[in-house]
Structure 1
Amino acid sequence: MTHQETIVALATPSGAGAIAIIRLSGDDAMNIASQIFHSVSKKKLDKQKTHTVHLGHIKDGSRIIDEVLATIFKNPNSYTGEDVVEFSCHGSAFIQQEIIQLCLRKNARMATAGEFTLRAFLNGKMDLSQAEAVADLIASDSEASHQLAIQQMRGGFSSEIKRLREELLNFASLIELELDFAEEDVAFANRDDFQKLISKITLVLKRLIDSFATGNVLKNGIPVAIVGEPNVGKSTLLNALLNEERAIVSDIAGTTRDTIEDEINIGGIGFRFIDTAGIRETTDTIEGLGIKKTFEKIEQAQVVIYLFNTQGIENNAVEKFNTEIAKIQNKYPQKQLIVIANKLDTISKERSVELTSKITNLQLISAKSGEGIDQLKNTLLNFVNTGALRNNETIVTNTRHYDALLKALEEINRVQEGINIGLSGDLMAIDIRQALYYFGEITGEITNDDLLGNIFANFCIGK
């Protein structure tokens, strides 16, 4: 495979639809398109200006395949930086394949996953982190994940990394220069300025690393486990949150034997709710496996909704119940816990006031009628730190970037240790070069075929 070949692929989802787009990119794209596209105005496609649209027919010899619109983008002013032609045809799966097969017979080849974006990266149209943001943008399914992908695609994160790398590279060059004049004992790099730079880089790296906790949940959604004893309304609550009959509801305790998961969007944030098997002592083997999986899901969740039945708490049992809540908080101290009393519609107002006064931070709902569900959604939203997102701060969402930042910080810490003990320039230069390597890995100044293959393999064909 070479990147000089002209590639073709369907750029819209496969299957029948109103319109489909077939994309050609490469040195021979205009020539291939001109051979198969016949303009109604009789104009030659390769003679037309860039960023223009033309009506005509795709023909295989004298046979008309379809009437299409051909949009041309001439290099370097295209997505890939190469000549690009896009045919907007009718969405018949047969027509799509006929046009693609015709392009292949004219010496194009099928594009691999992400190859158009790979070429954009190789031709300097975007850096590697921006290219990865393209895949995130396609996969975004909430306002928050969309905004994060847009910010990264516009280069906010990579610009910050490039600035740090450039400043560090300048000092690295001066330290390397000192090594050439070691016998003269000349210092080109001001050590006070170098210390300030290392302190600055350390702060920025720590901020970016810390942002990953927020970025990861905004990108992938926040897992929320709904737990409690059998028959307290966990499945009914899931159905109320999703506004559909997703889980089976029954008066028989232990109906839910396995976990049921579904995701909804609340205030632009994705939440993945997990309805779990009721926690109780049981001799039923299948139910026991479900309860075991419940605890596994609690471990994976970031928020735990502990649900109980208002009628199940007698006056003399409130203290015991508070002890049970404390046990959960102690067992999972890093998780946000929401304590909810269900079946509000079955108790008096006086009883509801009594319960909220005796149980800390208790919320009362009726999963059956929907009362209190909006308040629960607001509580969930309050757990998400969207301040950085609203302020357009750089937020790290990519695990590869997070790993590279951790390694870069480790090397910067070694440089700081070297400064503290007065390490010689030649030894300090080794750690600086390693930090520069990890910075370069993020933006793509330093790449290898395996890295690019792993990244672009996750793209869809046609992008």
Structure 2
Amino acid sequence: MINQDTIVALATPSGAGAIAIIRLSGKEAISIADSCFQSVISGKSLSFQKTHTIHLGHIVDGVKTIDEVLVSVFKNPNSYTGEDVVEISCHGSNYIQQEIIQLFLRQGCRMATAGEFTLRAFLNGKLDLSQAEAVADLISSDNEASHQIAMQQMRGGFSSEIAKLREELLNFASLIELELDFAEEDVEFADRTQFKDLVERIRFVLKRLIDSFAVGNVIKNGIPVAIVGEPNVGKSTLLNALLNEERAIVSDIAGTTRDTIEDEISIGGIGFRFIDTAGIRDTKDVVEGIGIKRTFEKIDQAQVVVYLFDAEDFKNNSATFKVEIEKIKNKYPLKPLLVIANKIDKLSDEDKSKLDASLSTFERSHFILLSAKHKIGVDKLQDKLLSFVNTGALRNNDTIVTNSRHYDSLLKAFEEIDKVKSGLETGLSGDLLAIDIRQALYHFGEITGEITNDDLLGNIFANFCIGK
């Protein structure tokens, strides 16, 4: 599948900037770059330079000088792609970038497709498939936790764990396959007791990895949090306080927020996407009614619901608010619900105590007194939100699965290992055991790329950016 031609692409984001990097990879990368490069040192040729060296000079098109550049040379196999690679650091003018790329295209390069540099790294054995996918995750990481997981996976933390299990299982599979060749002699080369221990260990590791996906998915994609409540209780003010900017319009007019407003921040390295919703109330206003309908849609999509109410109104009408809280709890029983009394700066200490005492024990464990306007209690809200995420695995540097393709393969591998375990317990014959083991090995291989196909690779690398 691997192409032998030389590819070129802009490796930095498109647009004007101080510096841009243009990358070439392939058998002719150095010679093509050399044909357009004029070193500041007379007679210096890139083809005869050592790997991992940088050279100052000019990119020229005949007698025309395009730009002064730094050229980095990486010779195979000690490069990102495993091929000869040249990276040209030029000035970030759009005109200069395109002039240099077009020059290389005329010299025999072709434009790289999305993710083709990383695809070549995979095909040349520089990365396994899970590490290659981690490159895309690293590029798209927008908080500390997702960055940490992507770095761990790119360094081979996840794939090495899978590869070790696969190797041990493969050794036993070989012994069982050998038994089939001596079926008439009725001999056992694979120690069944050791094999049972291995299967139990594999089940334990697979279960841990599968369970980690819930945390990994949250860390990778962020946690949607819906802020709901009646009109004019301070939902938009709370959103602005969390974001530290005037993101939502705030006024004393009930129903100001007609549609949902979303923004994301990082709390403790975890991304939270806050959704400010339209106030929930009976209304004849058509536009406001559409906004309220969307509020319930956003609550359905959210993983955490924050119910906000005016502390002064609660003091005078606590029964009504308790009914509303119970409605939300009953409608969304599986979603964590935080109940927040806002505008507590208007309450006396005695009123605050009465407010706290009026809530049940369960409600109090998810209850926060807060003043969004004066940012009192916002830090407690952030701590409470963070407590909903199991960051223990992250702190312990455990392997966390974030990729849905890996998750699917792990589930299938776990199912096959369960069949092997059941077969061992019931004394299943070696030929039938071998079928289930082969299937488990197949799903392990899908993760790291020992087993793959062109369609799978095309789907994975199509999501990469050009130049990576």
Q: What range describes the TM-score normalised by the shorter chain of this pair?
A: over 0.9
How do residues 78-227 of structure 1 correspond to structure 2 at under 5 angstroms? 78-227=79-228
How do residues 191-340 of structure 1 correspond to structure 2 at under 5 angstroms? 191-314=192-315, 317-340=317-340
- Is the 8 Å Cα contact of residues 396 and 402 (structure 1) preserved in structure 2? yes
Match of 2:33 in 1: 33
CA shift digits 1:357-416 (9 cap, x unpaired): 222322111111211112211221222222211111000011111111111111111112
AA aligned to 2:143 is S
Give 3-state SS (helix, strand or coil) of 1:453's partner. Answer: helix
Residues 1:442 and 2:447 are matched in the alignment: yes
Match of 2:383 in 1: 378
- Is the 8 Å Cα contact of residues 401 and 407 (structure 2) preserved in structure 1? yes
Give 3-state SS (helix, strand or coil) of 2:90's partner. Answer: strand
CA shift digits 1:172-197 (9 cap, x unpaired): 11111111111111111111111111
Counterpart-to-counterpart distance in 2, 1:196 and 1:283: 67
Counterpart-to-counterpart distance in 1, 2:86 and 2:433: 51
Give 3-state SS (helix, strand or coil) of 2:73's partner. Answer: strand
Counterpart-to-counterpart distance in 2, 1:421 and 1:283: 68
Give 3-state SS (helix, strand or coil) of 2:293's partner. Answer: helix
Unaligned runs of 5+ in 1: none
Give 3-state SS (helix, strand or coil) of 2:83's partner. Answer: coil
- Per the TM alignment, residue 323 of structure 1 is displaced from its structure 2 partner at its CA by 4.2
- Percent identity at matched positions? 75
How do residues 364-403 of structure 1 correspond to structure 2 at under 5 angstroms? 364-403=369-408
Counterpart-to-counterpart distance in 1, 2:132 and 2:389: 27
Counterpart-to-counterpart distance in 2, 1:288 and 1:194: 63
AA aligned to 1:245 is E
TM-score, normalised on structure 2?
A: 0.96
Counterpart-to-counterpart distance in 1, 2:287 and 2:442: 52
Give 3-state SS (helix, strand or coil) of 2:3's partner. Answer: coil
TM-score, normalised on structure 1?
A: 0.97
Deviates more, 1:256-265 or 1:110-119: 256-265
AA aligned to 1:161 is I
- Is the 8 Å Cα contact of residues 315 and 351 (structure 2) preserved in structure 1? no
AA aligned to 1:70 is V
AA aligned to 1:92 is S
- Per the TM alignment, residue 276 of structure 1 is displaced from its structure 2 partner at its CA by 1.1
- Is the 8 Å Cα contact of residues 263 and 270 (structure 1) preserved in structure 2? yes
- Per the TM alignment, residue 165 of structure 1 is displaced from its structure 2 partner at its CA by 0.7
Counterpart-to-counterpart distance in 1, 2:466 and 2:172: 43
Match of 1:17 in 2: 17
- Per the TM alignment, residue 2 of structure 1 is displaced from its structure 2 partner at its CA by 5.2
AA aligned to 2:120 is R
Residues 1:404 and 2:409 are matched in the alignment: yes
AA aligned to 2:11 is A
Match of 2:433 in 1: 428
Counterpart-to-counterpart distance in 2, 1:314 and 1:73: 71
Match of 2:349 in 1: 349
Match of 2:65 in 1: 64
Match of 1:418 in 2: 423
- Is the 8 Å Cα contact of residues 265 and 273 (structure 2) preserved in structure 1? yes
Counterpart-to-counterpart distance in 2, 1:195 and 1:21: 54
Counterpart-to-counterpart distance in 1, 2:155 and 2:246: 40
- Is the 8 Å Cα contact of residues 356 and 363 (structure 1) preserved in structure 2? no
- Per the TM alignment, residue 286 of structure 1 is displaced from its structure 2 partner at its CA by 2.9
CA shift digits 1:86-129 (9 cap, x unpaired): 00000000000010001101101000011000000101111000
- Is the 8 Å Cα contact of residues 121 and 128 (structure 1) preserved in structure 2? yes
- Per the TM alignment, residue 252 of structure 1 is displaced from its structure 2 partner at its CA by 2.2
Give 3-state SS (helix, strand or coil) of 1:355's partner. Answer: helix
Counterpart-to-counterpart distance in 2, 1:291 and 1:168: 55
Deviates more, 1:17-26 or 1:288-297: 288-297
Say what the alpha-carbon RMSD is for the aligned residues: 1.4
CA shift digits 1:224-283 (9 cap, x unpaired): 110111211111111111111111222222222221110011222211001112222233
Residues 1:451 and 2:456 are matched in the alignment: yes
- Is the 8 Å Cα contact of residues 143 and 270 (structure 2) preserved in structure 1? yes
Counterpart-to-counterpart distance in 1, 2:205 and 2:324: 42
AA aligned to 1:75 is N
Counterpart-to-counterpart distance in 1, 2:149 and 2:15: 30
Deviates more, 1:282-291 or 1:390-399: 282-291
Deviates more, 1:159-168 or 1:285-294: 285-294
- Is the 8 Å Cα contact of residues 220 and 402 (structure 2) preserved in structure 1? yes
Give 3-state SS (helix, strand or coil) of 2:421's partner. Answer: helix
CA shift digits 1:121-168 (9 cap, x unpaired): 101111000001101111111111110110111110000000111111
Counterpart-to-counterpart distance in 1, 2:369 and 2:195: 58
AA aligned to 1:406 is L
- Per the TM alignment, residue 333 of structure 1 is displaced from its structure 2 partner at its CA by 2.7
- Per the TM alignment, residue 320 of structure 1 is displaced from its structure 2 partner at its CA by 4.7
